[in-house]
Amino acid sequence: MHAIMLKAKLHRAEVTHAVLDYEGSCAIDGEWLDLSGIREYEQIQIYNVDNGERFTTYAIRGEEGSKIISVNGAAAHKAKVGDRLIICAYAHYSEAELANFKPRVLYMAPGNELSHTSNAIPVQVA
C-alpha cells in the first residue's frame, strides 16, 4: 500500500515577483529548495493565503540567498507581489517509509526571512 503525503512545505512565503511573460513555474530561492527537499522541476501546489487561489505548477531554482518567490506565466494571474503563499510538495510513500515519515516545513517571517524549520505540523486545538 502507498500513501500520498506532504513531503515539504514553505509556510507563508511572500511573493517577490509575478511575471506574466515567462514560460511558467515558480522560482524559489535555491537555499530553500535545498532545505525543504523540493527538487527543481518538481510539481508543487500553491495556496494563496491572501486571495484563496490554489494552483499547481513546478519549482525552478532561484538565486541562492535571494529570498525570491516568483510566480510566473499564467499563474501570475493568481498571485501578486506581497501575497503570502503556502507552497507544498507531495510524494508517494510505502508503508515501510511511513513508519518514520516526517515532512520538512520551512516557516517564513515577514520579508521572507526564514523563521525556523520543523519536521512536524503543530496539533490544532479546538
The answer to whether residue 58 is catalytic is yes
Q: Are 5 and 37 in contact (CB under 8 A)?
A: no
Q: Which residues are annotated as a binding site?
A: 57, 73-75
Q: CA 35 to CA 9: how far, in whole Å?
A: 10
> For residue 75, what are the β-bridge partners?
none
Q: Which residue has the cell 490544532?
A: 124
Q: CA 22 to CA 61: how far, in whole Å?
A: 14
| Catalytic-labelled residue, pool 22, 47, 58, 90 | 58
> For residue 107, what are the β-bridge partners?
11, 116
The answer to whether residue 107 is catalytic is no
Q: Which residues are annotated as a binding site for substrate?
A: 57, 73-75
Which residues are annotated as catalytic?
25, 58
